[in-house]
């Protein structure tokens, strides 16, 4: 059973450092009901509850079940939840709130979008004491990996605790520290902080921990991945020994269990999974991948986005430079794309987030670190511009779609050599990632014509077209009405779409062979002299592979090879196929018909300041 989400009541932040903030509660949707276990059961509880099981339990529940009221929360909290439109707790909330209200430590594993923010925020607020006037230090500290998540969590806690008069402050780097100091001196009940800035205030004496009753580590695995392990240890060491410690994470790597062993006392363990689709039903998140040569990735992404037509999307890149370049390319295709990475100031980051919240931008191109903890409404697509380096990273990324029962799409662009990593992700997540073909030029044209037809149909049904009648009547004196309509459709179509190239993107088969599967790797693979046979590596259809006598040792990068070829020949970057760079040489694919021209042209030029040998790759048999 779904409820009206709190995002419908969200207001904009007037001041990022203002403790009285109102905004989107994170993870507050997808409110389904699940039966609650006996809170007095054994010390370690494992609750493997998926959202689909929760839905079944909700359907079977009696009319006596009254949602959040049965969790024995304060009346002020229940009033806030009712005002936000929340009717029933999610599985993670139903499982976590009772032991947290009882003061137990808790280790929870829950995917993004399952409602975990409210799962720790409601007990935290419930346990606030009434003697909160003055500055005795905060009663609760929530540690999060990024400044954006600090703002989102503080917004949620403030909204839940509004009727309690809870004073909530986000504390993070990049914002004026003076404003944070003044708020802390005046008195704060709940601090939501990044670990580095929390330690900074602790060193200044402006963040006192002696009055803490609860410490929460939210997105704990992300904080460890970002190198905050020592900061977290230092904070927990200085927190009161009798505090309640709560740890929430989407994944539980071994390091997490070590922290739990040292700092949690007899914790309740809860594990909540995402909803599994019903038999015969499609999953909420459609996961697809496309195998694309590196030189064609930008063009391929543009076509995929054109066909998918996302309402809003996040595109993950590996480096800041890649983020900026890709955002520029997407803006050139007519998308409203914004960049987000660690090289931006806090003011720039907040401006980007404001554009996303207001709908001024519909695409966010970001690095993994900069986008951690981000959540904005109506996100429909997540795109991995490259295959994530670890399955846990993939899980975190795609967790941003398919929330609150909404459908979403997770897209991954993989180079041929990355296909094995895709298989590893499938094996670890136990979810299939379908490999599809990049849309062809014909697919793209058909999709654009369909979008034009839909736009014209909407205009015919809803717009006032009477003022254009005189134009049509004038033209009918000379032309057939069908011809007039065709011309009008062409103008509308051309005005709403950016022209695309006429070349199809090569359809590459994934490279699936492992070390033990290489051709010729057996006893017959050596001749009498003991030399291993060199088998030619397969090239893309219609492509020739060239040997270039310079590699990583000479500082050669893919862009150096692309720049040299496109600068000396008539080829464009999109004509160049796969590039492999070894320590002492490089291999690059070019159209077979242009191979001799490329060889002749590059023999008279330099790459990285030196002349290099270039020839077709020898294919010894």
Residue 35 confidence (pLDDT): 31
Is the pLDDT at 213 greater than 70? The verdict is yes
Contact 188, 165 (CB under 8 A): no
Place of tokens 């914002």: 175
* CA–CA distance, 610 with 572 (Å, rounded to integer): 23
The CATH classification number of 285-440 equals: 3.40.50.300
Query: How is the chain split into domains, by residue range?
Result: 18-273, 285-440, 442-496, 533-616
* CA–CA distance, 597 with 65 (Å, rounded to integer): 77
Residue 206 confidence (pLDDT): 93
Residue 40 confidence (pLDDT): 34
Residue 384 confidence (pLDDT): 93
Is the pLDDT at 118 greater than 80? The verdict is yes
Q: pLDDT grade, residue 370 (50/70/90)?
A: low
Q: What does each C-alpha distance from 602 to 551, 562, 567, 572 come to in angstroms?
A: 15, 11, 10, 15
Summary mean pLDDT of the chain: 76
Task: Calculate mean pLDDT across residues 467-496.
Answer: 83
| SS3 annotation, 386-420 | CCCCCHHHHHHHHCCCCHHHCCEEEEEEECHHHHH
> How many degrees, rounded to 5, is the angle at CA 570 between CA 568 and CA 576?
90
Give 244's strand partners.
214
Residue 413 confidence (pLDDT): 93
Task: Name the DSSP class of 277.
Answer: P
Residue 42 confidence (pLDDT): 30
Query: Which range (391-400, 417-426, 475-484, 499-508) has the least confidence?
Result: 499-508
Residues 230-263: tens digit of each pLDDT: 899 999 999 999 999 999 988 777 888 888 899 9
Residue 471 confidence (pLDDT): 86
Contact 615, 546 (CB under 8 A): yes
**Which residue from 239, 246, 253, 250 is spatially nearest to 267, judged by alpha carbons?**
246
Residues 548-602: tens digit of each pLDDT: 888 888 888 887 788 788 777 877 777 788 888 887 888 888 888 888 888 888 8
Task: Calculate mean pLDDT across residues 34-43.
Answer: 33
| Same topology between domain 18-273 and domain 285-440 | yes
Contact 372, 145 (CB under 8 A): yes
Residue 113 confidence (pLDDT): 67
* Confidence (pTM): 0.54
Pairing verdict, β 168-171 and 614-616 = unpaired
Is the pLDDT at 519 greater than 60? The verdict is no
Residue 103 confidence (pLDDT): 93
Residue 504 confidence (pLDDT): 61
Task: Calculate mean pLDDT across residues 404-414.
Answer: 83
Establish how many alpha carbons lie within 13 A of residue 416's alpha carbon, considering only the half-sphere containing its beta carbon. 20
Contact 408, 401 (CB under 8 A): yes
- Helix-, strand-, coil-residue percentages of the chain, each rounded to 5: 45, 15, 45
Q: pLDDT grade, residue 51 (50/70/90)?
A: very low
φ, ψ for residue 311 (rounded to 5)?
-70, -40
Residues 303-317: tens digit of each pLDDT: 898 888 888 899 999
User: In the CATH scheme, what architecture does the domain 533-616 have?
Assistant: 2-Layer Sandwich (3.30)
How many residues are present in the chain? 621
Q: pLDDT grade, residue 480 (50/70/90)?
A: confident
Collect all residues with Cβ–Cβ distance below 8 Å to 250 and sequence separation of at least 6: 109, 110, 111, 112, 219, 221, 222, 392, 395, 396, 399
603 Cα distance to chain centroid: 44
Q: pLDDT grade, residue 524 (50/70/90)?
A: very low
Highest mean pLDDT among 92-106, 109-123, 511-525: 92-106
Task: Calculate mean pLDDT across residues 170-195.
Answer: 91
Residue 290 confidence (pLDDT): 92
Residue 537 confidence (pLDDT): 47
Establish how many alpha carbons lie within 13 A of residue 390's alpha carbon, considering only the half-sphere containing its beta carbon. 9
Angle, helices 177-186/195-204, rounded to nearest 10 degrees: 60
Residue 508 confidence (pLDDT): 61
Residues 131-144: tens digit of each pLDDT: 776 677 899 999 99
The CATH classification number of 18-273 equals: 3.40.50.300
* CA–CA distance, 462 with 36 (Å, rounded to integer): 49
Lay out the sheet containing 381-384: strands in order across.
337-340, 363-367, 313-317, 381-384, 408-414, 285-291, 434-435
Task: Name the DSSP class of 214.
Answer: E
* CA–CA distance, 420 with 426 (Å, rounded to integer): 10
* CA–CA distance, 321 with 325 (Å, rounded to integer): 6
């Amino acid at each position: 059973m779904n409820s009206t989400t709190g995002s419908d009541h969200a207001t904009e932040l007037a001041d990022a450092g203002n403790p009285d903030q109102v905004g989107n509660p994170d993870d507050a949707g997808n409110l389904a009901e699940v039966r609650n276990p006996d809170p007095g059961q054994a010390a370690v509880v494992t609750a493997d509850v998926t959202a689909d099981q929760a839905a079944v339990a909700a359907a079977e529940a009696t009319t006596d079940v009254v949602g959040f009221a049965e969790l024995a929360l304060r009346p002020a909290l229940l009033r806030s939840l009712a005002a936000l439109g929340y009717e029933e707790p999610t599985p993670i909330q139903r499982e976590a709130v009772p032991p947290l209200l009882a003061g137990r430590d808790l280790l929870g594993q829950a995917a993004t979008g399952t409602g975990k923010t409210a799962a720790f925020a409601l007990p935290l607020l419930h346990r606030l004491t009434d003697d909160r006037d003055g500055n005795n230090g905060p009663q609760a500290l929530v540690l999060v990996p990024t400044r954006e998540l600090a703002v989102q969590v503080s917004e949620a806690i403030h909204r839940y605790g509004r009727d309690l008069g809870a004073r909530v402050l986000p504390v993070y780097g990049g914002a004026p520290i003076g404003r944070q100091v003044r708020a802390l001196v005046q008195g704060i009940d709940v601090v939501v902080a990044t670990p580095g800035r929390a330690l900074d205030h602790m060193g200044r004496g402006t963040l006192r921990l002696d009055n803490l009753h609860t410490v929460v580590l939210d997105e704990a695995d992300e904080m460890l991945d970002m190198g905050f392990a020592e900061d977290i240890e230092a904070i927990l060491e200085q927190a009161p020994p009798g505090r309640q410690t709560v740890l929430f994470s989407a994944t539980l790597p071994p390091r997490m269990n070590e922290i739990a062993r040292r700092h949690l006392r007899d914790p309740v363990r809860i594990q909540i999974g995402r909803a599994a689709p019903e038999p015969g039903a499609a999953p909420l998140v459609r996961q697809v991948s496309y195998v694309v040569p590196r030189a064609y990735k930008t063009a391929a992404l543009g076509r995929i986005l054109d066909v998918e037509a996302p309402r809003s999307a996040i595109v993950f890149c590996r480096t800041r430079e890649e983020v900026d370049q890709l955002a520029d390319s997407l803006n050139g295709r007519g998308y409203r794309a914004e960049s987000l990475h660690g090289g931006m100031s806090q003011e720039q980051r907040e401006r980007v987030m404001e554009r996303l919240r207001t709908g001024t931008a519909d695409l966010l191109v970001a690095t993994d670190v900069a986008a951690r903890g981000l959540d904005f409404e109506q996100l429909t697509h997540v795109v991995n511009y490259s295959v994530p380096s670890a399955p846990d990273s993939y899980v975190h990324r795609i967790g941003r779609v398919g929330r609150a029962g909404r459908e979403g799409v997770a897209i991954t662009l993989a180079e041929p050599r990355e296909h094995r990593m895709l298989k590893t992700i499938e094996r670890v997540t136990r979810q299939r990632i379908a490999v599809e073909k990049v849309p062809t030029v014909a697919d793209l044209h058909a999709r654009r014509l369909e979008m034009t037809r839909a736009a014209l149909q909407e205009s015919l049904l809803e717009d006032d077209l009477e003022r254009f009648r005189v134009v049509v009547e004038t033209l009918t004196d000379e032309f057939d009405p069908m011809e007039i309509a065709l011309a009008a459709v062409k103008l509308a179509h051309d005005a709403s779409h950016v022209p695309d190239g006429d070349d199809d993107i090569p359809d590459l088969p994934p490279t699936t062979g492992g070390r033990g599967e290489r051709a010729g790797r057996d006893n017959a693979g050596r001749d009498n002299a003991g030399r291993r046979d060199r088998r030619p590596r397969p090239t893309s259809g219609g492509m020739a592979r060239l040997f270039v006598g310079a590699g990583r040792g000479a500082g050669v990068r893919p862009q150096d090879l692309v720049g040299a070829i496109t600068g000396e020949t008539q080829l464009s970057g999109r004509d160049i196929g796969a590039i492999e760079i070894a320590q002492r040489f490089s291999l690059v694919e070019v159209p077979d018909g242009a191979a001799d021209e490329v060889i002749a042209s590059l023999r008279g030029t330099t790459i990285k300041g030196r002349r290099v040998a270039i020839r077709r790759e020898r294919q010894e048999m």
